């Protein structure tokens, strides 16, 4: 730990020197450097606090060993100091564990009905409401980017952003195939039906994260379809952007303004391109982390919602719980915590 501390102090000194240059504030790297500076300051402060605690503990032990009327008070204080140090060591361990550099980003979430017809689209709608309700309880901001409702209710597809502190860190493990087992409302024979919904979770990209050349884009505008407010269906406000090198296509028609629809579509495109880059990097991860994060095509079945047994099972970590209605009402903190803890253990073992 002392060697790591020295490395961090040397990095902090070098970073401070770079930040003395006024031109650095105009650099696209400045936000990342400022974020790194904050992390180093907070981590080094923990090391300084630990050093101070070690000194206090040593002095207090001498008072205990000396005996006399102060020994009993010193012994009580020693226990308090050791408890503080134990908690501090945990904070240091957490700070020194390698982090996903995208954890503090906002997230773009895409939910699509897969196998199961109407039942799949209905469950896609329920998953969207689950995340929306969860975000609401956390005072996070949710913005719908694009939606394609199904005639039976729910969604064929819905894309939305969730913004706030460490959103991607909390939701990234929701990516994959969610399977639901239940008797559909439309099933007269009472047979259990299995449907699937795919969820993609991407860190929201900034313009500096990926280079998108205007020459690589084909932008089409057209009249919005479906239900909408006044003028939505009467102007060419819908936008379709095709990224020629990758073949990625993003559409947006939720806004009345063509400019706003284009901005939203570009945001999704940049996030998808960033995700493709991350998927390539994830090929170098350990098998355990690959299983947790999933593959680039998000094809793995990660979770099953079994209604007859009132059981949710996350297959990656073998965690099960009951009370599906509560979960679909946004009460998924236990799932988020279990997956985050599992990742932390993997990262700690790898570091």
d(CA 202, CA 105): 9
Q: Which pLDDT score, from 0 to 100, does residue 296 have?
A: 37
CATH number at residue 235: 3.30.160.20
pLDDT one digit per residue (tens) for the chain, 351 residues: 578 899 999 999 999 999 988 888 888 778 788 888 998 999 999 999 999 999 999 999 998 988 887 888 899 999 999 999 999 998 998 888 777 788 888 999 999 999 888 899 999 999 999 999 999 999 999 999 888 888 888 999 999 999 998 899 999 999 999 999 998 876 767 788 899 999 999 988 877 778 888 898 899 888 766 544 444 455 677 888 999 999 899 888 877 888 888 888 888 898 889 888 887 776 666 566 556 655 434 456 899 999 999 999 999 999 999 999 999 999 999 999 999 988 888 877 766
Q: Residues 150, 169: one domain?
A: yes
Q: Residues 261, 134: one domain?
A: no
Burial classification of residue 247, based on how many CB atoms lie within 10 Å of its CB (0-12 exposed, 13-18 middle, 19 or more buried): exposed
Q: Is residue 286 part of a domain?
A: no
Last residue of a domain, one of 45, 62, 96: 96
Q: Which domain holds residue 186?
A: 107-205+298-350
pTM to 2 decimal places: 0.72
Q: Which pLDDT score, from 0 to 100, does residue 137 have?
A: 95
Last residue of a domain, one of 72, 96, 120: 96
Q: Residues 118, 236: one domain?
A: no
Q: Which pLDDT score, from 0 to 100, does residue 251 have?
A: 87
- Our count of domains for the chain comes to 3
Write down the H helix ranges in the chain: 2-18, 30-66, 71-96, 118-137, 167-171, 258-282, 287-293, 324-328, 333-350
Tokens of 80: 């308090």
Q: Residues 20, 81: one domain?
A: yes
Q: Residues 68, 169: one domain?
A: no
Q: Which pLDDT score, from 0 to 100, does residue 25 have?
A: 84
Q: Which pLDDT score, from 0 to 100, does residue 226 have?
A: 54
Residues whose CB falls within 8 Å of the CB of residue 81, separated by 6 or more in sequence, listed in order: 53, 56, 57, 60
- How many residues appear in the chain? 351
Last residue of a domain, one of 250, 280, 310: 280
């Amino acid at each position: 730990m002392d060697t790591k501390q020295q490395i961090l102090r040397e990095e902090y000194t070098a970073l401070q020197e770079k930040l003395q240059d006024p031109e650095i504030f105009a650099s696209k790297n400045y936000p990342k450097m400022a974020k790194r500076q904050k992390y180093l300051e907070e981590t080094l402060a923990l090391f300084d606090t630990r050093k101070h605690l070690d000194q206090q503990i040593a002095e207090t032990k001498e008072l205990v060993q000396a005996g006399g009327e102060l020994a009993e008070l010193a012994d009580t204080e020693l226990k308090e100091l050791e408890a503080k140090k134990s908690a501090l060591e945990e904070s240091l361990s957490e700070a020194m564990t390698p982090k996903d550099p995208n954890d503090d980003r906002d997230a773009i979430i895409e939910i699509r009905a897969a196998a199961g017809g109407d039942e799949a689209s209905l469950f896609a709608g329920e998953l969207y409401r689950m995340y929306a309700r969860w975000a609401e309880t956390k005072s996070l901001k949710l913005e719908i980017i694009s939606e394609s409702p199904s005639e039976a209710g729910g969604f064929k597809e819905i894309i939305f952003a969730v913004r706030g502190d460490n959103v991607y860190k909390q939701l990234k493990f929701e990516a994959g195939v969610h399977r639901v087992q239940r008797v559909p409302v439309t099933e007269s024979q009472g047979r259990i039906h299995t449907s699937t919904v795919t969820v993609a979770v991407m860190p929201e990209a900034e313009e500096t994260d990926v280079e998108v050349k205007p020459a690589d884009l084909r932008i089409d505008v057209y009249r919005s379809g479906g239900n909408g407010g006044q003028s939505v269906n009467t102007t060419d406000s819908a936008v379709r952007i095709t990224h020629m090198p990758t073949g990625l296509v993003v559409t947006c028609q939720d806004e009345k303004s063509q400019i706003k629809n284009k901005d939203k579509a570009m945001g999704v495109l940049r996030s998808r391109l960033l995700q493709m880059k991350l998927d390539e990097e994830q090929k170098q991860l350990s098998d355990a982390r690959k299983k947790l994060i999933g593959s680039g095509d998000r094809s793995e079945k990660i979770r099953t919602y079994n209604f007859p047994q009132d059981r949710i099972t996350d297959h990656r970590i073998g965690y099960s719980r009951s009370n599906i209605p509560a979960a679909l009402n946004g009460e998924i903190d236990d799932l988020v915590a279990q997956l985050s803890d599992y990742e932390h253990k993997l990262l700690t073992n790898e570091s």
